[in-house]
Amino acid sequence: MPNIAVKKPYHVDLAELMRVYETNYAKLNALLPVGHEVGDVRCYQAVNMVYQLTVNEVTKYTTLIDICQSDAMPVFPLPKMSVRLYHDARVAEVCASGDFSRVKAKYDYPNTKLLQKDEKFQLNKFLGEWLTFCLKTGISRTPIAF
């Protein structure tokens, strides 16, 4: 008798997601200006690409920033996301990405928007890789004051 594939339900790996949040928080703090305020912008040149971090909101416990690739002559749509830093928990989470104003922890699959079951995890993992790229190869376009 042939084996029939059983569809397992997706469960969020909270421990792994929190590790990604924590490392993203540390990476973002290394890229943001010290004592950042609303309106602060930091640009990084990495290879032939420009990445921009803009501080949109600063409260006692959180900071909201927009991160985007801002090349002069883009060949394809460039990634853009909003990230909230939670200073008390020391984590950073992608809140919005591209056309999605809110990213859920998990999605049913298949769905009409063609989102993956673990879309939130994938976006945050991508953010981590993007930040690592900026930290390793990026040069600040703004002089850093000490």
Residue 103 has pLDDT above 80, yes or no: no
Residues 109-123: tens digit of each pLDDT: 666 665 666 778 888
The side-by-side arrangement of strands in the sheet containing 80-86 is 91-97, 80-86, 62-69, 49-58, 41-46, 138-140
Q: Which of 70-84, 87-101, 103-117, 130-144 has the lowest mean pLDDT?
A: 103-117
Question: Which has more confidence, 91 or 47?
Answer: 91
Residue 73 has pLDDT above 70, yes or no: no
Domain ranges of the chain: 12-104+113-137
Q: How confident is the model at residue 14 (pLDDT cuts 50, 70, 90)?
A: confident
pLDDT at 146: 40
